[in-house]
């Protein structure tokens, strides 16, 4: 396949990064359609954002093979700093985001911090929801990963993604989880730290975009895999936070026993004690 000049490489890399960052903006700008829409998980605007996301993903697909080829360039691949960074961000994407969400929820409950507990719970729910969507699409699409089909970004096989990691490229699960966490955390922060929302958004979404780039650097995903994962994660994160704040005693919260079943730390004359509070399921 034709090699590109350094200028062309920079343009391709810039286009890929712009697409990864831009994909979630279709969802970030979404607000509930009405007070009634707040009681549904997905609004009409969410569906419009999903349609725009699919269109963006499709528009990027013709460039997947070229972008992947440039990601394989020997110079960046030989960089020990880049390889170490890619490993770190791969781990942050999965299982890092899920571990962090569960930990934040547990610590928030233990120290009686509702903000931290909400942040952890809703981030975890968003990761699980978006992961289910991504897993289903992966299985149905059956797209072969770049390292297994160099130069052939159109290697789809209906249904073959179930049970085959090599054919589970589309979309990127690591990127989905990272953007789901980023969206949920940013939205939670907007409620209790409005002044710092953009700082939180920059850190969270910037880190999530880097997870996506790390997956491309490791030749595990095409650029369109990453863009679709970013959008699915973002829409899921925003939807979960919106839904939970509109219905704070929803079925999921009751099933988890948020108000009663989790341990807390209470002071005692001899130090601290770990306690459980019984209550109705």
pLDDT on residue 266: 47
For the residues 173-187, what does the mean pLDDT come to? 96
| Distance, CA of 209 to CA of 199 (rounded, Å) | 15
The DSSP bridge partners found for residue 273 are 266
For the residues 50-59, what does the mean pLDDT come to? 92
pTM, rounded to two decimals: 0.82
Cα angle vertex 52, ends 11, 69, to 5°?
30
Query: In the predicted model, is pLDDT for residue 28 greater than 90?
Result: no
The DSSP bridge partners found for residue 266 are 273
DSSP, collapsed to helix, strand or coil, labels residue 264 as: strand
Dihedral angle sign, alpha carbons of residues 114, 192, 190, 226: negative
The DSSP bridge partners found for residue 276 are 263
Smallest CA-to-CA distance from 229 within 188, 151, 162, 172 is with 172
Mean pLDDT for the chain overall: 82
Please give the share of the chain, as a percent, with pLDDT higher than 70.
Answer: 74
Whose structure tokens read 């981030």?
A: 123
pLDDT on residue 256: 57
Whose structure tokens read 């007070």?
A: 35
pLDDT on residue 4: 45
| Distance, CA of 151 to CA of 102 (rounded, Å) | 39
Q: Are 156 and 142 in contact (CB under 8 A)?
A: yes
pLDDT on residue 259: 42
Tens of pLDDT, residue by residue over 82-104, are 999 999 999 999 999 999 999 99
Query: In the predicted model, is pLDDT for residue 193 greater than 60?
Result: yes
For residue 100, what are the contacts with CB-CB under 8 A and spacing of at least 6? 120, 123, 181
Burial 98-110 (b: 16+ CB within 10 A, else e): bebbbebbbebbb
DSSP, collapsed to helix, strand or coil, labels residue 79 as: coil
Tens of pLDDT, residue by residue over 3-15, are 445 555 555 555 5
């Amino acid at each position: 396949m034709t090699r590109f000049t350094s200028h062309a490489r920079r343009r391709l890399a810039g286009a890929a990064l712009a697409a990864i960052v831009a994909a979630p903006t279709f969802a970030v700008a979404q607000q509930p359609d009405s007070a009634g829409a707040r009681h549904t998980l997905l609004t009409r605007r969410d569906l419009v954002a999903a349609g725009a996301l699919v269109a963006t993903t499709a528009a990027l697909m013709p460039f997947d093979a070229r972008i992947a080829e440039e990601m394989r360039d020997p110079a960046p691949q030989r960089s020990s700093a880049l390889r170490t960074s890619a490993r770190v961000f791969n781990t942050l994407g999965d299982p890092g985001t899920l571990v962090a969400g569960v930990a934040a929820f547990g610590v928030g409950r233990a120290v009686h911090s509702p903000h931290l507990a909400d942040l952890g719970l809703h981030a975890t729910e968003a990761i699980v929801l978006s992961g289910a969507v991504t897993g289903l699409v992966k299985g149905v699409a059956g797209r072969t990963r770049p390292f297994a089909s160099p130069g052939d970004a159109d290697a789809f096989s209906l249904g073959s993604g179930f049970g085959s990691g090599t054919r589970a490229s589309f979309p990127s699960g690591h990127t989905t989880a990272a953007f789901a966490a980023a969206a949920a955390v940013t939205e939670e922060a907007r409620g209790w730290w409005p002044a710092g929302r953009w700082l939180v958004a920059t850190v969270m979404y910037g880190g999530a975009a880097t997870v996506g780039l790390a997956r491309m650097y490791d030749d595990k995903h095409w650029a369109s895999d990453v863009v679709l994962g970013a959008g699915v994660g973002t829409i899921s994160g925003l939807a979960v936070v919106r839904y939970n704040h509109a219905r704070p005693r929803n079925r999921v919260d009751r099933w988890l026993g948020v108000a009663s079943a989790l341990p807390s730390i209470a002071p005692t004359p001899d130090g601290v004690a770990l306690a459980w509070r019984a209550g109705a399921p």
